[in-house]
Amino acid sequence: MPDDAAHPVAGPLVRPRRLRRTPVLRRMVAETVVAPEQLILPVFVREGLTEPKPISSMPGVVQHSRDSLLRAVHEAAEAGVGGVMLFGIPEHKDAEGSGALDPNGILNLAITDVVGEVGDALTVMSDLCLDEFTDHGHCGVLTSDGRVDNDRTLAVYAQMALAHADAGVDMVGPSGMMDGQVRVVRDALDADGHTDLGILAYSAKYASAFFGPFREAVDSSLQGDRRTYQQDPANGREGVREALLDVEQGADIVMVKPALAYLDVIRRVRDAVDVPVAAYNISGEYAMVEAAAAHGWIDREQAIVETLASIRRSGADIVLTYWATEAAGLFRG
């Protein structure tokens, strides 16, 4: 047998491992950074609650009362999180989603509460959609034969945007995937003098199985599915087209939702547009990590770090995630 000592193997000239040797080195050459201010915390506030109500499919996430909501946004602000996205859950729903327009409706009151409490420290965003407010659970008003009426829904979205603006929101998030929604919202806001109010457009929103836990979070009344207006998961180019249309119509930020199964779409959108790109690390993605960690199958904190880093690495400038407040500490530490 050859004598290895007498015939040493020539080592490689290029050694990438040199830059992985210590934690300090690894941090110094990291290609992707996740900063707290790039994270947005989605929060649910439910009318009539006096204390938080746990969401069983999303361990650690709750439906907030108005009081507990303020504690949650305080924690987010102290952690350095960039903003919050508010979802309202009314006590009563109807076919038109009229609670979405009521100045005393839960979402509009929550906007005013949060802006008054932490408006200088967080960007306060609102989900602009009817699904939480309709008794059929769809994102718009229905025709007599049960289809979502795109253009009648747009008229309601315009009114909803003005209600959120009057409540004091910084940025609205039209999320219903109605054709032309960004243009209608932009026109309504501008005509009413809200020219500085931003739009985060849910541009590429897919009809995904990963939304499952969210349905519990908002007490969804959905009948059927949303495949006639949310995108087919098979389509990537279509997501880019939707984002480009939203930019043309006045969107300040465009978003891809979900994130993890659509990292390629995030990358395509990032390459196609010249506005910031957001991605929503949604309920099912959150629940999978939490469930696996609860069984001891994965390292929870490391999985959170890898998940959010992957979304940023794919091209997202901003990440909406239920881990936002906790993750701010993980990335800062």
| Active-site residue set | 205, 257
Q: What is the DSSP letter of 276?
A: -
Name the phi and psi angles at 260, rounded to 5: -65, -40
Distance CA 114, CA 21 (A): 45
Cβ count near 148 (within 10 Å): 20
Read off the tokens for 74: 């305080």
Non-local (6+) Cβ contacts of 221 within 8 A are 93, 134, 135, 136, 137
CB atoms within 10 A of CB 15: 10
Q: Which bin fits 242, alpha (ψ -120 to 50), beta or left (φ > 0)?
A: alpha
DSSP strand E in 62-106: where? 62-64, 83-89
Return d(Cα 12, Cα 142) in angstroms, integer.
67
Q: How far apart are CA 149 and CA 144, in angstroms?
A: 10
Cα-flanking dihedrals φ and ψ of residue 322, to 5°?
-70, -10
